[in-house]
Chain A
């Protein structure tokens, strides 16, 4: 059995969620990685070193520069025949592309896989992660999106894969979508999906400016910053900060929820964190039911104290 993994990367770094996807793919047999984009020479070298990958297929062309669903789907379809499994990371990119490929292969995709039971049986969350469903696929080919937090990522070294350039190129004249621009949140902090520590703010933060209080603590702990949907909707921070059912799924060693009530849709994104700390003034806030440690009180008093204590420990 051979599995194909579509790699996800950002600025010449292969995302850790892709390394988790490879870990899942290894359960099925040999793993080939597909690298799609433009100017990929540095990334191809990195991809070849990924543990467990035997071959890296590289499609390097301008038309692939923004990973648009249609050209990438056409590319995957052109090589799909030889693969029994096609896996992507369950991030925005993977979720965009995988089902389009699946539809054209007449396969029901299995999204957000958190456990591989055997070659055709998988576990995936439903109802905002409150329920886990075990599903068995009767499709000949299996198309899966993998939740990064559920699989220990493979190492980014040790592999010795061969690199093969794919000749198939997308025809840009047939493109159905044109890239206009991208607004990227620039930050030196670790990315949410792989951060060891995350401190998240909710509606209780009251403003975007107040997120500076979280940033100071994040600086000390080398933490990523997250947010609830209410905080994003209110414009305190960008959508890429959102944790939850419709945002990012995280499972850091330490998750600190500040002024977040703990709605089931938020819990969906962080409940698998190792240690959860809740800071909230409402003793009945549901976030305390999932927290290992709680402090009841006004976050505007507690955060400066916490910063101080952490800095002077």
Chain B
């Protein structure tokens, strides 16, 4: 079985980026970039399935500027066999990304696309579902447990009231929740090995896909979080404040 794993290069999720002084966008220059944590989970799951001999080949794919190579190298150090990089300097939306991935799926013919449920930068949570729709494939979103056999995938999905279990006909698109697994750190020998693994580079301009932007970012602003809080010395004081000052109990 062949698995395609799309990976996105994002601002490291431990860093809180700042808004540009003219509010036109988010300042990402000079910040540490990493693989989207949800995609890391997807790579890890693919690698585990390979180690169990259920999956035979893992192909990682990334879309964006040339530096996405680093993200692909990380995926290959974790265990992906080879990579595809689609280069573009445009800011691409989930709809465009899904259209590009659709082309890659048609070329690579995987049985499964395993990808993060959302990206930790734009938090859209849409690309996998759009891709499944475009391909006419089954979809299993927000998956925290996966059992894969040659013709079907049993997925445990995190839903609002608990967990839902579905059997998906393959081929399928599966989007991962962080709870699916604990991604490994690539070992030094594997990082060295990954340097020699092949990356096929395709320019988006050669792909004949319309990627016109539908959502124009007009402005951004910081969301307010901090409050002028007070530290209280006793539970008595707290209950008194909640009752008489805040009036919430």
Are A109 and B166 in contact, with the CB atoms below 8 A?
Answer: no
Are A253 and B138 in contact, with the CB atoms below 8 A?
Answer: no
Are A267 and B214 in contact, with the CB atoms below 8 A?
Answer: no
Within 8 A of B (CB), among A127-144: 127-139
Are A126 and B165 in contact, with the CB atoms below 8 A?
Answer: no
Q: A69-B129, A182-B163, A246-B178 are in contact. Are A108 and B93 (CB under 8 A)?
A: yes
Binary A-proximity of B176-212 (CB < 8 A = 1, otherwise 0): 0111000000000000000000000000000000000
Are A136 and B215 in contact, with the CB atoms below 8 A?
Answer: yes
CA–CA, A125 and B19, complex, Å: 13
Are A135 and B217 in contact, with the CB atoms below 8 A?
Answer: yes
Q: A92-B142, A293-B230 are in contact. Are A66 and B129 (CB under 8 A)?
A: no
Binary A-proximity of B115-138 (CB < 8 A = 1, otherwise 0): 001101111111111111110011
Within 8 A of A (CB), among B1-52: 11, 13, 16-17, 19, 26
* Interfacial chain A residues near B11, Cβ < 8 Å: 127
Are B141 and A69 in contact, with the CB atoms below 8 A?
Answer: yes
Are B231 and A294 in contact, with the CB atoms below 8 A?
Answer: yes
Are A292 and B227 in contact, with the CB atoms below 8 A?
Answer: yes
B235 to chain A, nearest CB (A): 4
Binary A-proximity of B141-158 (CB < 8 A = 1, otherwise 0): 110100000000010011
Total residues of chain A contacting the partner, CB 8 A: 92
Does B66 interact with chain A (Cβ within 8 Å)? Answer: no
Within 8 A of B (CB), among A167-200: 176-185, 193, 196-197
Majority secondary structure of chain A interface residues (helix, strand, loop or mixed): mixed
CA–CA, A300 and B93, complex, Å: 47
Select from chain A the residue with minimum beta-carbon distance to B154: A180
Out of B123, B139, B235, name the residue touching A245 (CB < 8 Å): B123
A186 to chain B, nearest CB (A): 9
Q: A130-B16, A246-B177 are in contact. Are A135 and B133 (CB under 8 A)?
A: no
Out of A128, A133, A180, name the residue touching B220 (CB < 8 Å): A133
Does B219 interact with chain A (Cβ within 8 Å)? Answer: yes
* Interfacial chain B residues near A70, Cβ < 8 Å: 138-139
The interface-forming segment of A39-47, A204-212, A305-313 is A305-313
Does B98 interact with chain A (Cβ within 8 Å)? Answer: yes
Q: A246-B118, A289-B225 are in contact. Are A111 and B126 (CB under 8 A)?
A: yes
Are B248 and A274 in contact, with the CB atoms below 8 A?
Answer: yes
B189 to chain A, nearest CB (A): 29
Binary B-proximity of A283-313 (CB < 8 A = 1, otherwise 0): 1000011111111100000100110011001
CA–CA, A101 and B132, complex, Å: 10
Out of A68, A109, A127, A309, name the residue touching B239 (CB < 8 Å): A309
Are B166 and A293 in contact, with the CB atoms below 8 A?
Answer: no
* Interfacial chain B residues near A296, Cβ < 8 Å: 231
Select from chain B the residue with minimum beta-carbon distance to A253: B248
Out of A98, A125, A240, A309, name the residue touching B123 (CB < 8 Å): A125
How many residue pairs at the A-B interface have CB separations less than 8 Å?
A: 270
A234 to chain B, nearest CB (A): 11
* Interfacial chain B residues near A267, Cβ < 8 Å: 225
Binary A-proximity of B231-246 (CB < 8 A = 1, otherwise 0): 1111110110111001
Select from chain B the residue with minimum beta-carbon distance to A101: B133
Does A238 interact with chain B (Cβ within 8 Å)? Answer: yes
* Interfacial chain B residues near A116, Cβ < 8 Å: none
A14 to chain B, nearest CB (A): 14
* Interfacial chain B residues near A292, Cβ < 8 Å: 227, 229-230, 246
Does B167 interact with chain A (Cβ within 8 Å)? Answer: yes
Select from chain A the residue with minimum beta-carbon distance to B165: A180
A-B contact pairs, 29 of them (CB 8 A): A92-B160, A99-B94, A99-B133, A102-B133, A108-B94, A108-B215, A132-B221, A133-B217, A134-B220, A138-B216, A176-B138, A177-B138, A177-B167, A178-B167, A180-B154, A181-B165, A183-B164, A193-B160, A221-B249, A239-B179, A289-B226, A290-B226, A290-B227, A290-B229, A292-B227, A293-B242, A295-B234, A306-B235, A309-B236
A positions within 8 Å CB-CB of B: 10, 66, 68-70, 73, 91-93, 95-104, 106-112, 121, 125-139, 176-185, 193, 196-197, 221, 229, 232-233, 238-240, 245-246, 248, 253-254, 264-265, 267, 271, 274-278, 283, 288-296, 302, 305-306, 309-310, 313
6 nearest A-B pairs in the assembled complex, by CB-CB distance: A176-B138, A103-B130, A99-B126, A99-B129, A103-B133, A108-B214
